[in-house]
Amino acid sequence: MNRRTFIKGAIALTATAYISPTIVFGAENFKWWQKKPVYQIYPKSFLDTMGKGTGDLRGITQKLDYIKSLGVSAIWLTPIYVSPMVDNGYDIADYTAIDPRFGNMEDFDNLIAEAKARDIKIVMDLVFNHTSDKHPWFLESKSSRDNPKADWYIWRDEKTNWRGIFGGSAWQWCEERQQYYLHTFATQQPDLNWENPDVRRALYDAANFWLDKGVGGFRIDAIVYIKKPKIFADGTPDAPDGSCAVHNMTANTDGILDFLHELKREVFDGHDIFTVGEANSVKPEDLPLWVGERGVFDMLFEFSHVNVMFNNGDEVWHRSHPIKLSEFKKALSDSQAATKNSWYPIYFENHDKPRSVNNFFPHGSDKILAAKALAIILFTLRGTPFIYQGEELGFTNTQFDSIDDYDDISSHGAYDLARADGLSDKEAMRFVQKFSRDNARTPMQWDSSKNAGFTTGKAWLPVHDDFKTCNVEVEEKNPNSVLNFYRKLSALRNSSDVLISGRYEELYPKNEELYIFTRSLGGKKFMTVVNFTTHKVNLPDKILNGAKKILGNYADAKNYLRATEAAIYEF
């Protein structure tokens, strides 16, 4: 199919296929994935049933009742495909087979069936910007300049000054071909050439394979990088001074939406699924082109609120600055405004980000109060809440002393870059400890036994040392635990038309201590108030007039907010 035909097709389809949620009164007309939260699992760290130190699919199946207790509609699994695991599965060597470390296809089919019996769908991660360098496609592509897959990847005779997202050059020399290949991420993750229709076809076939298995949708990885027009159109451009990141040169470039409309038409359309794209650097004002009536995905993980400590999409950890509350709130409010006619995935954590309690609350905040405060925001903004494993228990960052103790490939790149920029080991480690993705990847804590019940073997990453007090077993028994708070919030949100679909409005956006917003629908109104400081803060005059507190991280109600206090009021 030529390009013009698929664009025309896409326009025809998008005009009829999507009914804007905001024009529907009440939540009963919403889709299943809008009515309940989604739970994200990092399988390697969830539950090991075989004593090998890494989690597996059977472990997930075993814990489905636990997951169901959070009131979710779906589980998003980060990649479980065959992979050398250089980037823990985001380097795929076979798109349609399960990595033996996670189990086999029977385990997967069983997981889908058992989840379905509990009214939960399984959502897969599509990693379509790149493959592993061990993928047969790449092995063939690199073998010569004239094999059938010779242009399935991005090969050039010269390289640019682009720095890869995990550090080092974004180009790798290949002896066999006597050429460089582009890798946006690790050297072992060569970027696919989306300009080649055979590449696109092969990727769509892989996605359709999982749809045939009955999956409930897709999270689409690193999708903003698939179009690299500048390399082809302008020769070999170097990045401007001071910013030599591949991200700044290739993210979200013109023409990308043509590819994505084709993906939508060839894979997503006609299925009762949801899709959520990972899209660092799509600006809130551009969201309507990506989601909703004119868009291609149901939701988009844009990074504006989680990257508010970085100056642009190029996340250099040691160039981060302290978060200003008003900027964080603005990012959320802008995204809420930009998706008021479509839908938003609400998230504060995932497998790439530090734990939210450390990330968004000042040092010295009570961790349990902070976890509950963020949960209140997570469940009262408009959109689908995404809960990342452990977040519902109030997990916090881990801390290893030496860079050698970190598994996360991006931590090593970030450390090297910081050292190259003149930071001492100690200074560089401070940023690694703060931002490492391993913070989010320590094993799930099930009970107070050895390895927190995660494995009977040697855990691949050390269990957090708070596991005796912060684990599922202990929190189940405590009515005031973070876990039980999540359950209450989920039940409240899932049964409230106002919280599912009501209009969002932020109050006092310039206030640097409090986050206050309302949700309203048909004369009913909720208000969320959160104190982001470690001291008492007065609420604006009369704001609570006529309001009744329905849930908060302190039991009683005052007309001011105590340290890290958060509450939901109803009018």
What are the angstrom distances between the C-alpha of 525 and each of 223, 504, 528? 37, 10, 10
Structure tokens at 5: 């035909």
User: Which of 99, 133, 262, 352 forms a contact with ligand GLC (CB under 6 A)?
Assistant: 352
Nearer to ligand GLC, 87 or 266 (CB): 87
Q: State in angstroms the smallest separation of the CB of 553 from ligand GLC.
A: 30
Is residue 435 at the binding interface for ligand GLC, with CB under 6 A as the rule? no
**Shortest Å distance, C-beta 54 to ligand GLC:** 16
Q: Which of 185, 361, 388, 435 binds ligand GLC (CB under 6 A)?
A: 185
Q: Can residue 222 be called a binding residue for ligand GLC (CB under 6 A)?
A: yes
Angle subtended by helix axes 256-263 and 197-212, to nearest 10: 40
Q: Active-site residue 221, yes or no? A: yes
Give the list of residues 6+ apart from residue 150 with CB closer than 8 angstroms, or none: 141, 144
CB 134 within 8 A of CB 93: yes
What is the distance of C-alpha 351 from the center of its chain? 7
- Contact pattern from residue 140 through residue 179 relative to ligand GLC, giving x for each residue in contact according to CB under 6 A and a dash for the rest: ----------------------------------------
Give residues 259-278 in contact with ligand GLC (rule: CB under 6 A). Answer: 278
Work out how close the CB of 219 gets to ligand GLC at its nearest, in angstroms, rounded to a whole number: 9
Q: Report yes or no: 412 and 294 within 8 Å, Cβ to Cβ.
A: no
Please tell me what DSSP assigns to residue 272: S
Using CB atoms within 10 Å of the CB of residue 552, give its burial: 0 to 12 exposed, 13 to 18 middle, 19+ buried: buried
Alpha helical stretches, state H, 123-242: 136-143, 197-212, 229-233
* Catalytic residue (choose from 221, 315, 408, 438): 221
Angle between helices 3-17 and 256-263 (to 10 degrees): 60
Q: Do 561 and 539 contact (CB within 8 A), yes or no?
A: yes
Q: Does 127 bind ligand GLC (CB under 6 A)?
A: yes
Nearer to ligand GLC, 40 or 365 (CB): 40
Cα–Cα distance, 506 to 527 (Å, whole number)? 10
Q: What's the alpha-carbon Rg for the chain, to the nearest Å?
A: 23
Residue 163 vs 351, nearer CB to ligand GLC: 351
Q: Judge whether 517 and 505 are in contact, CB under 8 Å.
A: yes
* Residue 221 CB, nearest approach to ligand GLC (Å): 5
245 is a site residue for ligand GLC (CB under 6 A)? no
Check: CB of residue 41 under 8 Å from CB of residue 56. Answer: no
User: Considering the rule CB under 6 A, would residue 90 count as an interface residue with ligand GLC?
Assistant: yes
Question: Which CB contacts under 8 angstroms, 24+ apart, belong to 134-140?
Answer: 134/84, 134/91, 134/93, 134/188, 135/92, 135/93, 135/94, 136/93, 137/192, 137/202, 138/190
Q: Look up tokens 């380097």; give the residue.
A: 91
Q: Which C-beta is closer to ligand GLC: that of 185 or that of 431?
A: 185
**Closest among 409, 290, 420, 389 to 18, alpha carbons compared:** 290
Number of residues that bind ligand GLC (CB under 6 A): 9
- Choice between 245 and 472, CB closer to ligand GLC: 245
Q: How far is the CB of 222 from ligand GLC (least distance, A)?
A: 4
Q: Does 290 help bind ligand GLC (rule: CB under 6 A)?
A: no
Encoded amino acid at 149, one letter: K
3-state secondary structure 291-304: ECCCCCECEEECCC
366 part of the active site: no
**Residues 361-400: x/- map of binding to ligand GLC (CB under 6 A)?**
----------------------------------------
Strand duo 299-301 + 274-278: pairing: parallel
Does residue 87 belong to the site contacting ligand GLC (CB under 6 A)?
yes
Rounded to whole angstroms, the maximal C-alpha distance in the chain is 74
Our finding on whether 296 is near ligand GLC (CB under 6 A) is no
CB closer to ligand GLC, 36 vs 44: 44
Q: Return the number of the residue (86 or 376) whose C-beta is nearest ligand GLC.
A: 86
CB of 352 to ligand GLC, least distance (A): 5
Q: Which residue in 99, 191, 262, 278 is the catalytic one? A: 278
Q: Say whether residue 221 binds ligand GLC (CB under 6 A).
A: yes
Instruction: Identify the DSSP state of 153.
Output: B
Q: How far is the CB of 447 from ligand GLC (least distance, A)?
A: 28
CB nearer ligand GLC, residue 87 or residue 349: 87
Q: In this complex, which beta carbon is closest to ligand GLC, that of residue 251 or of residue 516?
A: 251
Query: Catalytic amino acids?
Result: 221, 278
Per CB under 6 A, residues contacting ligand GLC are 87, 90, 127, 185, 221-222, 278, 351-352
